[in-house]
Amino acid sequence: MTIPAEIDTPDIMIDLDILERNIARMAAAVREKGLALRPHAKTHKVTEIAARQMAAGAAGLTVATIGEAEVFADAGIEDIFIAYPLWISPQKAERLRRLASTATISVGVDSAAGATTLGSSLGQAAGSVSVLVEIDSGHHRSGVRPEAAAAVAEASSRAGLKVAGVFTFPGHSYAPGMPAEAVAQEQQALREAAESLAAAGFEATRRSGGSTPTALLTDGSEATEVRPGVYVFGDAQQLELGRCAMEDIALTVAATVVSHHETPPDAPARFIIDAGSKILGSDRPAWASGFGRLIDHPDARITALSEHHATVEWPDSRTLPPLGERLRIVPNHVCLAINLVDDVAVTSNGALVDRWAVGARGKNK
Amino acid sequence: MTIPAEIDTPDIMIDLDILERNIARMAAAVREKGLALRPHAKTHKVTEIAARQMAAGAAGLTVATIGEAEVFADAGIEDIFIAYPLWISPQKAERLRRLASTATISVGVDSAAGATTLGSSLGQAAGSVSVLVEIDSGHHRSGVRPEAAAAVAEASSRAGLKVAGVFTFPGHSYAPGMPAEAVAQEQQALREAAESLAAAGFEATRRSGGSTPTALLTDGSEATEVRPGVYVFGDAQQLELGRCAMEDIALTVAATVVSHHETPPDAPARFIIDAGSKILGSDRPAWASGFGRLIDHPDARITALSEHHATVEWPDSRTLPPLGERLRIVPNHVCLAINLVDDVAVTSNGALVDRWAVGARGKNK
């Protein structure tokens, strides 16, 4: 696909046709398993994409912050899960109270102290907020051991909050060969946590799991819902993990070749494009083959990244793309890339058809 | 310093007193060497900071993109260098023409083709734009060999552009022990490039070098100006390179402890804060000891980073900071961190005194 002339570089492009296919495919696959789909909107931060996810049957959205929840609630999304162990400041309490008066809000908790603070800060409004206890299923970030879920649920209940269930993020699935093992650990953790709650008299109505690398491997025996995010766009990480193919990539960064590095004879040929870490993001897991991929040149690699430059190592030293040529880059981690722009170019059949605001960009609080 | 209660987390805080001290100190040191100071404003993107740099005697600003130049020209900065080998699209030509009609604009070139395209795209306005030929002094990103500078200058002159000089970015100074060697290479490259120009009949009036790790090591024998950026704030990279001390850090990220990870007995104690890669940035050079530092806890390290979580490894397992405690984080690379927020909290003597818009945030084009 040629980059439409109206698009100057660097810019983020969304292929609407691929986006809609990705949304429909995940919706159908999750529905077939009897699971609810609650896509994580931190990936896209765009209300037009959330609307398409809801129209395809999503049960609601997942977000990471109150600020993201505010944007999507303002856009009419009625059921939002803030999948994060919020520590409630006075400012956050005020905003969460307001939010809970306009939408069905659930939030994560992973400590008795966090639950107590949440409930007491919300006061009268505590009863209108549900909590899901976060479980560590092997990622070792936030979350309690499954057998410790009941204590957090009890503290939540004492604080006036409704206990809706348990959730986990199997983030350790983000490594080659790990998804199957991470899913098994996730399912076991959800079961044990639900048992912990049951023993204390709580029903874990919602048992919520990750995530783009694992969602299609999860069955409905332990989980009731999944929260994939990246599947709408795909990215170089998912590509290298084997969770999507190049033709599933819906988000690319349009870039221009701005410099031909004078390569020493014994070094691989390389050139510089005008897309750096301030539009691609600089995530690079140890197993990734570079800082991003080129959609039409699968053998090329981005070997170095500055704020406004990427160094592309080129497989064929005889035919470097000329200065001024425009290329499409697949970022390693789309969630970071789209958070760096105010709006995105939307294309269909190779033509620019719209621009969408990234409404929840920068909503870190 | 306690984080003022009005500041909710995560948020970026600027210590005005330290900022002004950093600005004054660099201005004095560079003036003493007889060099011009042209600070790189991609670091801060804030017009209030640019105004302070100009008031301290800066000759003008450096920026990376036309979009950044537009923001600072609108704020009244009269002399701006876009230190980037721009490839001029029709959109960029139109914007650069407009810019050159309101401010003194110089731009980078590192190819005859780039210079020709720039000149012909600008048309009548070419004569009002100066170019500096970019030289590769060892960073091996953009830039030509010093002896190839004349060919680019000649193409620029044929295209109707004014040749003002040469510049280089000694980016390879960003590694432990490298600044002194990088400065020597930078000075040699600037001299050879100026000689190359002189042999072709061009005077390199401006001979422009980097950069926070090198600026204070550069003397006035070869360079005429330096372009440091990060010195206004400092960051964990500069700290670990020995280019600033903890008391020089003017930008921190206010964060809250949200989760206590249940650490296995044989593992270092750790906890989770609510500042992740979407406010700290995820740059981590191989030599860095983590993804950031804690300003009041020099032995702590950020060992893992997600979008909204950072994992802090804590030196003293007996006294973890309690849930809800607020801590100040030093990002690895401030240029990425400030680009993730719309505005920043400005403090003086521990009190919130202002909020500044990050006016050039996201101006990638």
Same domain for B289 and B185:
no
Q: How far apart are CA A174 and CA A153, in angstroms?
A: 29
Distance from CA of A177 to the nearest CA of B (A): 20
* Residues of chain B found within 8 Å of residue A142, distances taken between Cβ atoms: 258-259, 261, 272, 309
Same domain for B318 and B244:
yes
Task: Answer yes or no: do B336 and A148 touch at CB < 8 A.
Answer: no
Same domain for B249 and B139:
no
- Asked if residue B24 is part of any domain, the answer here is no
| CATH number of domain containing A48 | 3.20.20.10
* Residues of chain A found within 8 Å of residue B323, distances taken between Cβ atoms: 87, 111, 113-114
Write out pLDDT tens, residues A57-101.
999 999 999 999 999 999 999 999 999 999 999 999 999 999 999
Same domain for B223 and B176:
yes
Q: Of A84, A258, A273, which to mutate for an interface test with B (greatest number of B Cβ within 10 Å)?
A: A258
Same domain for B342 and B220:
no
Write out pLDDT tens, residues A263-310.
777 778 999 999 999 999 999 999 999 999 999 999 999 999 999 999
Write out pLDDT tens, residues A200-227.
999 999 999 988 888 888 888 899 999 9
B262 vs A: CB within 8 A: yes
Distance from CA of B359 to the nearest CA of A (A): 13
Tell me how crowded residue B267 is: count the other CB atoms within 10 A of its CB.
11
Last residue of a domain, one of A191, A207, A233: A233
Q: Of A134, A235, A364, A365, which to mutate for an interface test with B (greatest number of B Cβ within 10 Å)?
A: A364
Same domain for B281 and B196:
no
Q: Which two tokens stand for residue A43?
A: 């990936």
Number of domain units in chain B: 2
Q: What percent of chain B has pLDDT over 70?
A: 100
pLDDT at B272 over 80: yes
* Residues of chain B found within 8 Å of residue A113, distances taken between Cβ atoms: 322-324
- Asked if residue B362 is part of any domain, the answer here is no
Same domain for A245 and A162:
no
Write out pLDDT tens, residues B284-311.
999 999 999 999 999 999 999 999 999 9
- Asked if residue A203 is part of any domain, the answer here is yes
Considering chain B, what is the average pLDDT of its residues?
Answer: 95
Same domain for B213 and B80:
yes
pLDDT at B173 over 90: no
User: Which domain range does residue B278 map to?
Assistant: 237-357
Distance from CA of A59 to the nearest CA of B (A): 24
> 3-state SS string over chain A?
CCCCCCCCCCEEEEEHHHHHHHHHHHHHHHHHCCCEECCECCCCCCHHHHHHHHHCCCCCEEECCHHHHHHHHHCCCCEEEEEEECCCCHHHHHHHHHHHCCCEEEEEECCHHHHHHHHHHHHHHHHHEEEEEEECCCCCCCCECHHHHHHHHHHHHHCCCEEEEEEECCHHHCCCCCHHHHHHHHHHHHHHHHHHHHHCCCCCCEEEECCCCCHHHCCCCCCCEECCCHHHCCCHHHHHCCCCCHHHCCEEEEEEEEEECCCCCCCCCEEEECCCHHHHCCCCCCCCCCCEEECCECCCEEEEECCCCEEEECCCCCCCCCCCCEEEEEECCHHHHHCCCCEEEEEECCEEEEEEECCCCCCCC
Last residue of a domain, one of A233, A258, A276: A233
Confidence of residue B359 (pLDDT cuts 50, 70, 90): very high
Confidence of residue B331 (pLDDT cuts 50, 70, 90): very high
- Asked if residue A10 is part of any domain, the answer here is no
Write out pLDDT tens, residues A14-33.
999 999 999 999 999 999 99
- Asked if residue B42 is part of any domain, the answer here is yes
- Asked if residue A144 is part of any domain, the answer here is yes
pLDDT at B266 over 80: no
DSSP state of B345: E
pLDDT at A179 over 90: no
pLDDT score at A364: 97
Same domain for B186 and B294:
no
| CATH number of domain containing A340 | 2.40.37.20
Same domain for A243 and A207:
no
The whole-number average pLDDT for the span A173-195 is 91
Q: Count how many residues are written for chain A.
A: 365
Per the model's pLDDT, the better-predicted residue between A218 and B143 turns out to be: B143
Task: Answer yes or no: do A110 and B259 touch at CB < 8 A.
Answer: yes
- Asked if residue A55 is part of any domain, the answer here is yes
A187 vs B: CB within 8 A: no
> CA of B264: which chain A residue's CA is closest?
A140
Confidence of residue B26 (pLDDT cuts 50, 70, 90): very high
Last residue of a domain, one of A215, A233, A251: A233
- Asked if residue B8 is part of any domain, the answer here is no
Distance from CA of A190 to the nearest CA of B (A): 18
Q: How far apart are CA A232 and CA A241, in angstroms?
A: 16
pLDDT at A178 over 90: no
